[in-house]
Structure 1
Amino acid sequence: MNSPGTILNVEDTPENRHLVRRILESQGYNVVDAENALQGIEKALEIRPDLILMDINLPDLDGFTAVTRIRSYAQLTSVPILALTARTVHDDRERAKAIGCDGYLNKPIDLDELINQVACHIVTRHKETEPATQRELYLKEQNVTLIEELEKKFSELKV
């Protein structure tokens, strides 16, 4: 049986990672795990998944920052991203949409909703999207550079 797709699961809590992996693998998906945001960004660039599940509360960078970085890479702009969080802040859903998340799931995860959203977004992913212009690609690369420089300056200020 062919896998319906590869899912990158960015989650710092081992129990949550294991649960999501078990559920999605039972549906035939190939699941690749990342334990933090930086590892998630690196793996996204390496494997170019069909979908990314992004925990918002991560120890190194918050999920919002990770999504912003992922969206800045031209080869990842069409990858659907579902935000997952135990936070109940009302603005999180709007913020997730604004930065480029395609969906939002609350924890504890409703397993049926997870399976349905993953399936729906992977099908959508396979639709043709307009190729980005050279200008858009350049601007996205510049955004990555600026974000990295700002984060470096910010960490220097903390010290």
Structure 2
Amino acid sequence: MMKILYVEDNEDNIYMLSRRLKRKGFEVVIAGDGVAGIEAARREKPALILMDLSLPKLDGWEATRQLKADAETRAIPIIALSAHALEGEREKALDAGCDDFDTKPVEFARLMGKIGGFLEIGGAS
């Protein structure tokens, strides 16, 4: 079972997305802030990280920078998730080291396509 780390502080988002990912056969590990996300990435060695950008303690941009600077975690693909679809938000996430970007609310089929591209698994639904 492939493991996804979901770094998110909103309980509704956690509930909705983690349930859907589990139904697709993923093990989902949750971290509620950027600091916990870095610790979980090092400890759990997920196949992929879904990173909210607006997080307490340490925002998603800085958490991503730290993960990508660490030889132990730099190869883990990170997809940024943001409710702010403002111009430049995607570029800012990619500049921080995220491998891709998606907007919230999450369009699950599109997100599964992105996850599948990184993990070389079958398509969405």
TM-score, with length taken from structure 2 = 0.92
- CA distance in structure 2 between the partners assigned to 1:41 and 1:123 by the alignment: 24
> Would you identify which runs of 4 or more consecutive aligned residues in structure 1 move more than 4 Å?
none
Give % identity: 36
SS of the aligned residue for 2:72 comes to: helix
- Matching residue of 2:114: 117
SS of the aligned residue for 2:6 comes to: strand
Structure 2: any 5+ residue segments left out of the alignment? none
Q: How many residues align?
A: 121
Aligned-pair Cα RMSD in Å: 1.2
- Matching residue of 2:43: 46
Q: Which protein shows a greater Rg? A: 1
- Matching residue of 1:81: 78
SS of the aligned residue for 1:7 comes to: strand
1:60 aligns with 2:60: no
Q: 1:103 aligns with which of 96, 100, 113?
A: 100
Structure 1: any 5+ residue segments left out of the alignment? 125-159
Deviation at 1:28, TM superposition (A): 0.4
Q: 2:21 aligns with which of 24, 32, 36?
A: 24
Superposed CA deviations along residues 70-128 of structure 1, whole A, max 9, x for unmatched, are 1111011110000000012211101111221111110111010111111111129xxxx
CA contact (8 A) 2:33 2:59 kept: no
- Matching residue of 1:69: 66
- CA distance in structure 1 between the partners assigned to 2:85 and 2:116 by the alignment: 25
- Matching residue of 1:91: 88
CA contact (8 A) 2:53 2:60 kept: yes
- CA distance in structure 2 between the partners assigned to 1:116 and 1:37 by the alignment: 25
TM-score, with length taken from structure 1 = 0.73
Structure having the higher strand fraction is 2
